[in-house]
Amino acid sequence: MKLEKLEGFEIHSFLDEFNEDRDVFDREASYDFCYNYFRNFYEDNCIEKIYSLDNLEVSCLQLAFYLASWGMYRGSSKLFQKSIKVYEEIIKEISKEHSLWEIDVDNYDKNNIYAILKFKIKIEKSLEVYGINASDTLTTKIIMGFFGCVPAFDYYFKKGLKVKTLNKNSLTEIKEFYDKNCNVIDLFYGDENFKTFDVTTKDTRFNYKKAKIIDMIGYILGEKIEKGIFINPK
């Protein structure tokens, strides 16, 4: 791993900082609402309904608003020029997807990594039809919004954890990071006060997945490195 093991107190402070700052009215909560929406179908054993006529519009809207909140609808983005109908094929794919819901960073084995990368290709192909070149940032945010099983490869996360592209090597490195820091990460994963927000402002039954917790760590670390207030371990 390019980034050595962080001290436990450093990770703890990053996650405490995230937990103290999060608010149900802030844009970060858009992830929670999106993840909870799709996760509920899985928990109720009816993922096919995600793509039903009754739910398709809301499914597309949930994904679109989360992506907009998370910076994917800036003026330079081709998504900015498209309607929510560009997501219909992606929604159709997750309504048939059975392998990704239970994947998390602690079970990144050969088969699960393959499943993640296979779904990445499905996203890329579905958006390519509309002239959208799906970056790793966009692709990982979509996968995270549906399944929570990968971190979002945005600027700060890549700067923090020193990964570049979504591939087998980067997912293996993230798994190694988890293995070296699992004691602290697992503490937050099991914390009853560290769950996703519900739109009613109450915590839900859903924990943030470990991959999402690593997303928080990497983002905060990268931001601190950028500002020069944290020295990247050599």
Query: For residue 231, what pLDDT is reported?
Result: 56
Query: For residue 234, what pLDDT is reported?
Result: 46
User: Alpha-carbon distance 151 to 214, whole Å?
Assistant: 7
For residue 116, give every residue at least 6 positions away whose Cβ sits within 8 Å of its Cβ, in sequence order, or none: 100, 103, 143, 149, 150, 166, 171
Kindly state the DSSP code that residue 220 receives in the 8-state scheme. H
- 198 burial (CB, 10 Å; 0-12 / 13-18 / 19+) is middle
Q: Which amino acid is at 149?
A: C
Q: Which residue has the tokens 């998390």?
A: 104
pLDDT in tens, 179-189: 999 999 999 99
Tokens at 81, concatenated: 């020029």
> 180, 165, 168, 169: which is closest to 217 by C-alpha?
180
Is the separation of the CB atoms in 116 and 122 below 8 Å? no
Maximum C-alpha span of the chain: 53
> How far is C-alpha 88 from the geometric centre of its chain's CA atoms?
20
Query: For residue 1, what pLDDT is reported?
Result: 42
> 36, 170, 116: which is closest to 214 by C-alpha?
170
- Assign 3-class secondary structure to 3-36: CCCCCHHHHHHHHHHHHHHCCCCCCCHHHHHHHH
Q: Kindly list the distances between the CA atom of residue 135 and the CA atoms of 81, 138, 155, 219, in Å, as whole numbers in the listed order.
A: 16, 5, 12, 18
Q: Where are the beta strands (DSSP E) in the chain?
A: 195-197, 203-207
Task: Give the residue ranges of the chain where pLDDT is below 50.
Answer: 1, 4, 234
